[in-house]
Amino acid sequence: MTTLILTVTRACNLRCAYCPTVKDGWPGLSPDDVRRGLDLFVERHGGGDVKLFGGEPLMVPEVVRAAMDYAATLPSIRRVYLSTNGLGLDTDWLDYLRTYPKGVLTISIDGVPEDNRKYRRAVDGVGDAYDHVVSLIPQLSTVPRVVITQTVPPKTSGRAGDNFRHLRSLGFWRFNLLPGYYIPWTDEALANLRVGFDGIRDEIIDAWEKGEKLYLRNLFTLQPTPFFNSGFIVDSDRSIHPSNVGLSGSLDELLGETRCGDLDNPPSNELLAEKAASINGLLESSLPPRVWSSTLAVDAELTRLCQSLYPHYRRYRQRRRTLEEAA
């Protein structure tokens, strides 16, 4: 299924140590831009899923609301994913999301407060993201389809299992794991990542054996490029790309290579596909060898985790079907 990605802004109210996407001073999409992007997506690709990215999308709440409102009127749009650090969420937003039929709210939290705060640093005058999200848990528990993205940087990789258990203890049960891509990893950190992922694996298997609800999005996603999304990507300057690799500040020079049009002059599907086929080669030739090899290594560890879980997931699903049929 084709995906539309709207990078509504590059601005953010956090300065996460492992995040390369913030670009102060860049333009952002307008409400008219996101509606134009949705129309093009339906016209050229027949619709599918929509992802609202940043920066931090809720820095421009009126743009996010315009995109979601319009997407709700389009039958060919299946799901609308809103990815946020949570700081912009409030009662009004949660009331809106509670009744929004197509929404998936994805909130980034790394784990225990100490690890979350160590790398998710707020700009001056901005509150603590962990405390804010936790304060909203009673309301979040009534919002359908809330997914927690647990980022795993190298220095906390060995504690990934403990951080996962902490996030579960808060009442969350839908997760997406995101090891630190496009940064160098030492051999020791990679070994720790394996230990951390093994802890997460054991926690998930134990939950499934007990019949508890636990969803891991990574089991159902496959992208040709590690971390980055492929599809019909509209960047915050209205340019169109086949991948959002240009979100990385270290890959700025690739924006000219991947650009294939803009909202006023959209590319053909053929040009988009041609550009998409070149992405991995561009990354390998542009990145320092250690960064590229580290990215492939952490992706291999995530793949190993998913492959180890598939047999257990099949048994879990079969048990649930049997119980549902018996009921």
- Go through the domains of the chain in sequence order and give each one's CATH number: 3-326 (3.20.20.70)
What is the rounded CA–CA span in Å between residue 88 and residue 293? Answer: 36
Strand partners, 50: 4, 80
How would you write the pLDDT of the chain (327 residues) with one tens digit per residue?
Answer: 489 999 999 899 988 877 766 566 688 999 999 999 999 999 999 999 999 998 899 999 999 999 999 999 999 999 999 999 999 999 999 999 999 999 999 999 999 999 998 888 888 888 899 999 999 999 999 999 999 999 999 999 999 999 999 999 999 999 999 998 888 999 999 999 999 999 999 999 999 999 999 999 999 987 666 556 678 999 999 999 988 776 665 566 778 888 999 999 999 989 988 888 888 788 888 888 998 899 899 999 999 999 999 999 999 999 888 888 887
**What's the pLDDT at 248?**
62
Q: Give me the residues paired with residue 174 across strands.
A: 215
**Long-range pairs of 265-269 with CB within 8 A, sequence gap ≥ 24:** 266/40, 266/44, 266/240, 267/240, 269/44, 269/45
Are the CB atoms for 9 and 56 separated by under 8 Å?
A: yes
For residue 55, with 0-12 CB atoms within 10 Å meaning exposed, 13-18 middle and 19 or more buried, which class applies?
buried
In degrees, to the nearest 5, what angle opens at C-alpha 321 toward C-alphas 320 and 322?
90
Residue 145 is predicted with a pLDDT of: 96
Give Cβ neighbours of residue 114 (< 8 Å, ≥ 6 apart). none
Q: Return the SS3 of 177.
A: strand
Q: What is the pLDDT of residue 65?
A: 98
Please give the pLDDT value at position 324: 80
Structure confidence at residue 228 (pLDDT): 65
- In three-state form (DSSP H/G/I as H, E/B as E, the rest C), the secondary structure along 105-148 is EEEECCCCHHHHHHHEEECCCCCCHHHHHHHCHHHHCCCCCEEE
Question: Using an 8 Å Cβ cutoff, are 119 and 153 in contact?
Answer: yes
